Chain A
Amino acid sequence: MRLLLVEDEIDIQSFLQRSLEEAGYEVEAASDGKTAERIAMEDPFDILIVDLGLPDQDGITLILKLRQLGVSAPVLILSARRSVDDRVCGLEQGGDDYLTKPFALAELLARLRNLLKRNSPAASESTRLRVLDLELDLLRREATRSGQILQLTPQEFVLLEYLCRNAGRVVTRSMILDKVWGMRIQPDTNVVDVHIYRLRGKVDGQGQKPLIRTLRGVGYVLKDR
């Protein structure tokens, strides 16, 4: 996967480049709009990460220009502003995504994956999800572990489904809130942890290998190994 990273702050650029390369992306970095345009024209990219505050031009302007030049790869917009610009909303509706700084690396990677998935021809949507001995029947909304049916509420099933779809990868609390409850909020209290705790009580029964792992300070992982 070829990724173009447009970010002017060198610290962020180098840490992102390192982490993205570790995550398996082939990263080209640009520090300003002009360079980004040139690089994007030379080679096609699968996905772009664009910071809004570039030294020579506005990130949105760059994206719109690239779109006009025929670059159709999805864009993940990085913004240091709190309020989301109308134009960002427009791009979001057009299939791009945005992330506000500071962000968890796990969330950045998850959003990149989502964008790539959205852009690739829809994989045949399976009606069953399987992670180790955990199995989810998406049609009957039923989850089993080692053949035993788990008594889950509908909400718990959605949460578990989300974890399964991201098995082996870190999901943050804000990602869970966004995807499972559809809200971009940051509660002061540990509401998400309590949900996970309850779910874990049902999924990781006595004597079974614990599947749901907490990564303190980051989020949760559903183990797939």
Chain B
Amino acid sequence: MSSKTVKPILHSAAWRISLRATLAFACGTMLVFIFLHRFVASDIQRRSDAWLSGEVKVLGDVAEQTPKNALYDRVVGEVAELVSKEVPNKDSSAGATNDSVFFLQANGDGSLMLWVGAGSGVPNLKAIQAVRIVPGSPSDLRVQGFEVPFRVASTRINDGSSIYLGLSERDELRVLRSLLLRFVLLWLLLVFLGFSIVFFTTKRMLSHVQRMTEAASRIGHTDLSARVPITARNDEVGNLALTLNHMLDRIEISMHQLHTITDSLAHDLRSPLTAIRGKLEMSLLSGSQSDHSEQIVSAIEELDHLTDFLNKSLDVAEAKADALRLNRVPVDLDKLLRIMIDLYEPSMSGKGLQIRLHSGGPLIVQADAALIHRMIANLFDNELKHIPSACTVNLRLSVEENTALLLLEDDGPGFDPEVLPHLFERRIKGSKSTGHGLGLAFVDAVARAHGGTVAATNCEAGGARLAVNLPLLAISVGQVVAS
């Protein structure tokens, strides 16, 4: 691993997580080992104490019952020798020389009576006399000339002398030391293993995240079509990748729509702008004053038309992208239709059209008043522009299953069957239409934005039928889309 890659690893989250996990793991296992070690140590102590107590009692009995004659020293000495050969935890490599056990009998006056063991026994006696050893419970004894302390048990016999049996703790310590060494080695191994496992697992998991980061940083620099790699597992990281990709899908769609809007706007604006420019230029070139104003008036009208077109196509585009913001207020459709009829009636009757409203009275929907006004105006404009004279338009307003249903039926020629399937798309208009092909697309967009629908059919008896459904109560667009 080169030094270049070392630094990022030290700064990586995987490294930090592994360090913390390992630290906790190491402390935990260390506590367990310390406890185990203590337990083993005390157990060894207990066992050797039990042995010492047992043997010192045997020796005491032997010393008591053996007659105090010339053979006394030999008999008791032999027994003590025998005992020292049964030492627990004995290191077999130590050979025949036995310095791990001593037997000492002291007279009541404190003089050495019998000694079995390595050395003269004098330092041992001195040490014994320096500390008071209670008969029955073994205790530690440090003896000059010996590195390792002895564990000494004592008993008092009838003749007033005391018997001491000492066992070097050397073997015990050796066992404990080798145990400790194994524990430490095992602990190190466990800690290293734990660290490696945690480090490599987190590193592997976080490498998915890293790949996502890389993929995400590529997105936008080049194009929006790149996606984050998806893992097969259904875990948190997998979900993150899926969510990110869904988000990117939505962004890409929005961007695509935006591009489409700007492209078509640019396209649609060019010809009216050219016309306006031309008219103004002509007014500059032409001589008389009246010509001037005619051209300018025409240019202004064209500009108004253009503004209207711009607003409508942006509204349609926003509604298609679910971005239309609604300012919902109660709108009485019945009242609105009556006002609209009042507004449109002169134009319609001027064209020989009749309009009739069939309504059961006030009908309130929660809707964006300005948009609904414009939607209805579009529907009326549509009728006014597209049906021949002497026709009748019937408006029916009713409530059906929590929606307001507005039916527009006329007895005109109906929709062109070729256009009918695409009626609500932008820029779709009949072959004879002079509009900009946004009217019904706008109606559809507004209805959708309110969670409603628009359907166009041709009546059986001929004539067009437009059915607009609007929910009575406020339902957010999101809910409708989700369902």
Contact = CB atoms under 8 A, between A and B. Distances in A.
B311 A82 contact: yes
B438 to A, nearest CB: 9
Contacts of A83: 325
B300 interface: yes
A102 B325 CA distance: 21
A213 to B, nearest CB: 14
Nearest to A182: B339
Interface stretch (B93-101, B232-240, B301-309, B413-421): B301-309
Contact of A102 (B303, B381, B384): B303
Contact of B370 (A184, A190, A194): A184
Interface string B336-351: 0001001110110010
A86 B377 CA distance: 24
A89 B328 CA distance: 13
A209 interface: no
Contacts of A177: 343
A106 B435 CA distance: 27
Contacts of B385: 188-189
Interface in B257-303: 293, 296-301, 303
A188 B381 contact: yes
Contacts of A195: 343, 346
A128 interface: no
B437 to A, nearest CB: 11
Contacts of B224: none
A82 B373 contact: no
Interface string A175-199: 0010001111111111100110110
A185 B304 CA distance: 12
B391 interface: no
A24 interface: no
Contacts of B293: 216
Contact of B347 (A186, A191, A216, A217): A191
Nearest to B324: A83
B170 interface: no
B421 to A, nearest CB: 24
B339 A181 contact: yes
Contacts of A194: 346-347, 350
B439 A188 contact: yes
A64 interface: no
B483 interface: no
Nearest to A101: B307
Nearest to A174: B304
A102 B299 CA distance: 14
A189 B381 CA distance: 6
Max count, chain B CB within 10 A of own CB: residue among A190, A191, A197: A191
Contacts of B300: 217-218
B275 to A, nearest CB: 14
Nearest to B314: A82
A216 B343 CA distance: 21
B345 to A, nearest CB: 9
A155 B384 CA distance: 21
Given A102-B303, A187-B381, A191-B343, 13 more contacts: A82-B311, A84-B370, A86-B327, A183-B373, A185-B373, A186-B308, A187-B380, A188-B308, A188-B378, A190-B347, A197-B346, A217-B297, A218-B300
25 contacts: A82-B314, A83-B325, A86-B327, A177-B343, A181-B339, A181-B342, A183-B339, A183-B343, A183-B377, A185-B373, A185-B374, A186-B304, A186-B374, A187-B380, A188-B378, A188-B381, A188-B385, A188-B435, A190-B347, A191-B344, A191-B347, A195-B343, A195-B346, A217-B296, A217-B299
Interface of A: 82-84, 86, 89, 102, 155, 177, 181-191, 194-195, 197-198, 216-218
Q: Which are the 10 A-B pairs with shortest beta-carbon distances?
A: A217-B297, A217-B300, A216-B297, A194-B346, A194-B347, A185-B377, A188-B381, A183-B373, A186-B308, A191-B347
